[in-house]
Amino acid sequence: MKDIRNIIIFDTTLRDGEQSPGASMNLGEKLEVAQALVELGVDVIEAGFPIVSPGDYDAVKQIAQIVRGATVCGLARCVGADIDCAWDALKVAESPRIHIFLATSAIHREHKLRMSQDEIIARAVEGVRRGKQYCSNIEFSPEDASRTEIDFLCKVVEAVIDAGATTVNIPDTVGYSTPVEMGKRIATLMERVPNIDKAVLSVHCHNDLGMAVANALSSVVAGAGQIECTINGLGERAGNSSLEEVVMAMRTRRDIFRADTRIVSQKLVPTSRLVSRITGLKVPRNKAIVGQNAFAHESGIHQDGVLKERTTYEIMSPESVGFTKSDLVLGKHSGRAALANRVRQLGYDLTPEQIVVVFKEFKKLADRKKDIYDADILAIVEQQFHEKKPDPESAVWQYVSYALHCGKKDKTVVKLTMARNNEEKTVELCEDDGPVSAVFNAFQQAVQLPVTLKEFKVEAVSKGSDAQGEVIVLLDYLENNGSKTTLRGHGVSTDIIEATILALLNAINRI
């Protein structure tokens, strides 16, 4: 197909996505996601907002050091100190970009900035010029652009391009726009800004009205060359444009959009699952592209059609986004070669030594449950190689064993044994509440840390009554200075209580 434009994919999972409540990541998790984004084929990775905190600065700097094959971007307000800090973190990058933003809408000018239109333009130009002294690749965002007067927006865009901006991003900051409006706004900028050919026009759409993906795609039709998006649509409030949805929409309907990306679509599902596990924010079953039901057919009519000809009810193949055709083959009699093949199909490139470790855990699991599903294998791989394991020599807590008795009319009795520094500690207690409460209280007595259980989620990893259970917990940890830190923990086991203990352990060993 001729005249297919390449659209730049700017991923802001590590910046805007991390701003989703409960989705904050530690440094190791950010590095893991960054590497996955490189393998996915993302063009630009917005690694964070360096001046916001020492942790954000360190994350941007370390991601800048390790990423090869993608541009690493840092966010900065249109303030000298922000821009200087961003460059200090980014300067080690193979391909750095400074992303500068300043609000332009009337409501922001009047109530937040208390600046005139002329002052806004002068500040924007000054910021871009300052960034340009450090870096040739400068992006500027007029915040709340979708509610900015179009005449003024055209002036701002022209001025920042003259000052040296190489990308100008048009944010629908509060998700207020509609596809028709967004497309018209981009088309107007393409027509009325005389130097628009000297920069890439980008969009950053929020999903407050459920139109982020539609707004982004409408902008592409109108001439935008970059889409800012996140894995699983994470982000402030209702989130951002979903990377997997905009990518597959353009790829599936190239006849309409006349555009594509360099994203390796077969890695969409593995990357989605990685981000879901790290953030603790589950992907809805009916989520487009990467949801568990995205290629499931319950209706007899649909099943009949798919069996006769897949395209009757599937507009893309499951394999094209990272699912496998079958979901149930392996059992306790399966060999290492079959397991290694399935792991590769699921999107993981493990070494022979890592396969040995996975195979050992696979055999243990196969002795506990009859059928092994893809989700079970994913859980094993992620626990072994995608979760930071505590050093056995370090002073962290380790789980040893538990025993539990409870019933409808009986009190709950729990006996929990933990170990630290090779010394075991056993807590026994009896209480009126259920098993989860009893286990948490026993756990808290064992570790003697000021934590409270903020959130508890449990669901089956795969199918069947013998499915592994996945538990995700959020704990509030009261630090010595009186501030609270939220800790996230993740545990998987065929035994829900054991999964709960493992999740609690995973959380407190982050302290």
DSSP codes, 365-384: HHHH-S-EEHHHHHHHHHHH
Residue 313 inside a domain? The answer is: no
What digits encode the pLDDT tens for the residues 337-391?
Answer: 888 888 887 777 788 888 999 899 888 888 887 778 777 888 888 777 655 454 4
Same domain? For 188 and 270 the reply is: yes
Mean pLDDT of 229-234: 97
Domain with residue 470: its CATH number is: 3.30.160.270
Same domain? For 145 and 256 the reply is: yes
240/15 Cα distance (integer angstroms): 11
Give the residue from 224, 257, 279 where a domain finishes: 279
Domain with residue 267: its CATH number is: 3.20.20.70
Give the residue from 336, 352, 385 where a domain finishes: 385
Q: pLDDT value at position 150?
A: 98
Residue 71 has pLDDT above 70, yes or no: yes
**Number of domains composing the chain:** 3
What digits encode the pLDDT tens for the residues 20-60?
Answer: 877 778 888 899 999 999 999 999 999 999 999 998 999 99
- Contact 469/492 with Cβ under 8 angstroms? yes
Give the residue from 279, 309, 338 where a domain finishes: 279
Distances (CA, A) of 418 to 398, 401, 425, 504: 6, 7, 5, 12
Q: pLDDT value at position 392?
A: 46
Torsions phi, psi for 229 (to 5 deg): -155, 180
Residue 309 inside a domain? The answer is: no
Mean pLDDT of 276-282: 87
Residue 184 inside a domain? The answer is: yes
Same domain? For 408 and 381 the reply is: no
Say what the pTM is: 0.83
Pick 300 or 91 by higher pLDDT. Answer: 91
Mean confidence (pLDDT) of the chain = 90
Same domain? For 87 and 211 the reply is: yes
Residue 330 inside a domain? The answer is: yes
Burial 303-336 (b: 16+ CB within 10 A, else e): eebbeeeeeeebebebeebbbeeeeeebeeebee
470/502 Cα distance (integer angstroms): 10
Range of the domain at 354: 324-385
Distances (CA, A) of 267 to 132, 345, 364: 35, 10, 28
Same domain? For 144 and 43 the reply is: yes
Same domain? For 405 and 381 the reply is: no
| Positive or negative: CA dihedral 9, 254, 205, 140 | positive
Same domain? For 362 and 220 the reply is: no
Q: Which residues pair with 488 in a beta bridge?
A: 474
- Contact 60/87 with Cβ under 8 angstroms? no
Same domain? For 436 and 329 the reply is: no
Same domain? For 403 and 504 the reply is: yes
- Contact 377/362 with Cβ under 8 angstroms? yes
SS3 assignment, position 343 = helix
Start-to-end CA distance of the chain, whole Å, equals 54
Alpha helices by DSSP H, 103-242? 106-108, 117-134, 150-163, 179-192, 212-222
Same domain? For 113 and 182 the reply is: yes
Q: pLDDT value at position 485?
A: 83
Residue 96 has pLDDT above 70, yes or no: yes
Q: pLDDT value at position 431?
A: 84
Point out the least confidently predicted range of 28-37, 142-151, 323-332, 346-355: 323-332
Residue 302 inside a domain? The answer is: no
% of residues, the chain, pLDDT over 90? 60
Same domain? For 476 and 356 the reply is: no
Residue 373 inside a domain? The answer is: yes
SS3 content of the chain, % helix, strand, coil (to 5): 45, 25, 35
487/323 Cα distance (integer angstroms): 31
Same domain? For 116 and 204 the reply is: yes
Residue 464 has pLDDT above 80, yes or no: no
- Contact 117/109 with Cβ under 8 angstroms? yes
Residue 136 inside a domain? The answer is: yes
Pick 438 or 179 by higher pLDDT. Answer: 179
Residue 287 inside a domain? The answer is: no
